[in-house]
């Protein structure tokens, strides 16, 4: 049995997302955004998800949780790199389980699938962020043995601030592939 086709006599299974799952992923993303009170920020489309998850240059991986044939959760992550470790890692962007399916081990199975993905590839770490008010998630991560990094503050540049750099970059800088 493939490690990423997890179903050990449980009513749910975890599997890698594949082409055709874009609409299901988007519905789950919208569910996460509703939970986080950020629904107005979702601009993703099935076409964008298809291009960036399953296209010629996939930039992220995703796993879906299914319960009796219904999509009830997902994890989405992308590769990072630690200069100190000299190794790649995984950044877990999102982990979400539909509220009525929580407390059944689905979230744990999803995040452990990400951990296994990283460990099997020899990656150095898995990192993620959690909203400060999300006490249930913080308690869940604590139970897994994860430790909060109190000494770090996350920064973000997006929207018009990022657009400023798009228009001010020289042609030679734009044509360089940063991968």
What is the DSSP pairing of strand 12-16 with strand 126-128?
unpaired
Cα gap 46→50, rounded to integer Å: 6
Confidence tier at 2 by pLDDT (50, 70, 90): very low
Confidence tier at 1 by pLDDT (50, 70, 90): very low
Give one word for 27, left, alpha or beta, with left for phi > 0 and alpha for psi -120 to 50. Answer: alpha
Please confirm, yes or no, whether 101 is among the known catalytic residues: no
What is the DSSP pairing of strand 126-128 with strand 87-97?
parallel
CA distances from 99 to 34, 94, 107, 113, 157 (A): 11, 15, 11, 20, 31
Instruction: Report pLDDT digits (tens) over 119-160.
Output: 999 999 999 999 999 999 999 999 999 999 999 988 989 888
The half-sphere exposure of 57 on its side-chain side, counting CA atoms within 13 A, is 2
Rg of the chain over Cα atoms, rounded to whole angstroms, equals: 17
Q: Does the pLDDT value for residue 28 go beyond 80?
A: yes
Query: From the candidates 123, 141, 155, 165, which is the catalytic residue?
Result: 141
More confident: 8 or 97: 97
Which secondary-structure segment (H or E) carries 113? helix 106-120
Total Cβ atoms within 10 A of residue 150: 6
Q: Does the pLDDT value for residue 60 go beyond 80?
A: yes
């Amino acid at each position: 049995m493939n490690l990423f086709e997890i179903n050990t006599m449980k009513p749910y299974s975890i599997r890698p997302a594949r082409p055709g799952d874009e609409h299901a992923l988007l519905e789950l993303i919208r569910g996460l955004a509703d939970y986080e009170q950020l629904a107005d920020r979702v601009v993703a489309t099935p076409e964008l998800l298809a291009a960036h998850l399953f296209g010629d240059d996939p930039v992220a991986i995703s796993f879906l949780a299914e319960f009796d044939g219904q999509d009830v959760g997902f994890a989405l992550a992308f590769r990072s790199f630690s200069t100190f470790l000299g190794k790649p890692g995984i950044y877990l962007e999102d982990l979400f389980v539909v509220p009525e399916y929580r407390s059944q081990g689905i979230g744990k199975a999803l995040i452990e699938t990400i951990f296994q993905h990283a460990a099997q590839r020899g990656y150095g770490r898995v990192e993620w962020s959690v909203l400060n008010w999300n006490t249930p998630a913080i308690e869940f991560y604590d139970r897994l043995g994860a430790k909060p990094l109190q000494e770090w503050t996350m920064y973000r540049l997006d929207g018009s601030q990022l657009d400023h750099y798009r228009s001010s970059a020289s042609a030679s800088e734009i044509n360089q592939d940063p991968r």
